[in-house]
Amino acid sequence: MTTDGLGTAAAVGGGALLVVGDVITDVVARHRGPLAAGTDTAAAIRTVPGGAGANVACWAARRAGTEVRLLGRVGVDAAAWHERELAACGVRPRLVVDAEAPTGTVICLVDTGEAAERTFLTDSGAALRLGPDDWSDALLDGVTYLHLSGYLLFSEPSRRLVAVALESARARGVRVSLDPASAGFLREMGPDRFLSLIEGVDVLLPSRDEACLLTGLPDVADAAAKLSRHVPLVVAKQGADGALMARSGTVYAHVPAVAATPRDTTGAGDAFTGAFLAALLAGAAPEYAAAEGCRAGALAVERVGGRPPASG
């Protein structure tokens, strides 16, 4: 036995992880220096599978013995490709195929300078049409943890799905985690509305910017502490500065980052979240799980795209 993020007993190796979230086609354009407005900018361009929810599922499945399932919505145009790519990562996909909307696409502009900063142009397409009719309580059969992508909160159908999934999870005693996903979308929604929509979530995994935006506090430690009065466990991801763990209004641990030379920071937070949840599922204490997350994040930034390297 060990303890989970809530400080209660949890059996080692029990149950599956169900991820509900976005499945996206990423077009990654790696350039150096400022974009040249009105003319050409040389770039290395690749099309890769992505989506915050799908990436989390793939990084979680990378841990041996972890059963990971994914519910998402895609268009007819790329459904078969995404299903193959997810299965190749060890994920059991349940993809709802949308006959009207195309698969969501994100153009990732990645500056190949030292910081490898990225900018996203997002067309969510079918991803945000995932709704309550796509949910079934049977999806939680054998599930110990449910993870929700924060992108689900940025459309009305997906918000209703979140409410249904949270109610179902509470009825079954399934623990729920959520990653806020996007500071830009959070700013449009407003912190108060966001926090009201995630009532009942057990673990919140914001980035530094998201934590500060949700609380209005400039210091990430103060922000994490404040958020942990709303959510039992807060894990604030800080990139090269590691992660902060907070509960009951107090930051109780700082987990250092793993050194890495970044090529593309796309999906680094998803890698952290996936590895963190897989370790929790295996019975690890939250601090150890966060260390696993930092290791995965370091591996992710040294790769192009948001998915883990192929096994074997």
- Residue numbers annotated as active site: 270
Which residue blocks in 25-77 are alpha helix, DSSP H?
52-61
Distances (CA, A) of 215 to 235, 261, 262, 284, 298: 14, 31, 29, 29, 27
Chain Cα centroid distance, residue 227: 18
β-strands 118-123, 44-50 pairing: unpaired
Residues 231 and 201 sit within 8 Å (Cβ to Cβ):
yes
Residue of 79, 73, 23, 12 lying closest to 270 (CA atoms): 23
Residues 124 and 22 sit within 8 Å (Cβ to Cβ):
yes
Residue of 246, 244, 259 lying closest to 297 (CA atoms): 259
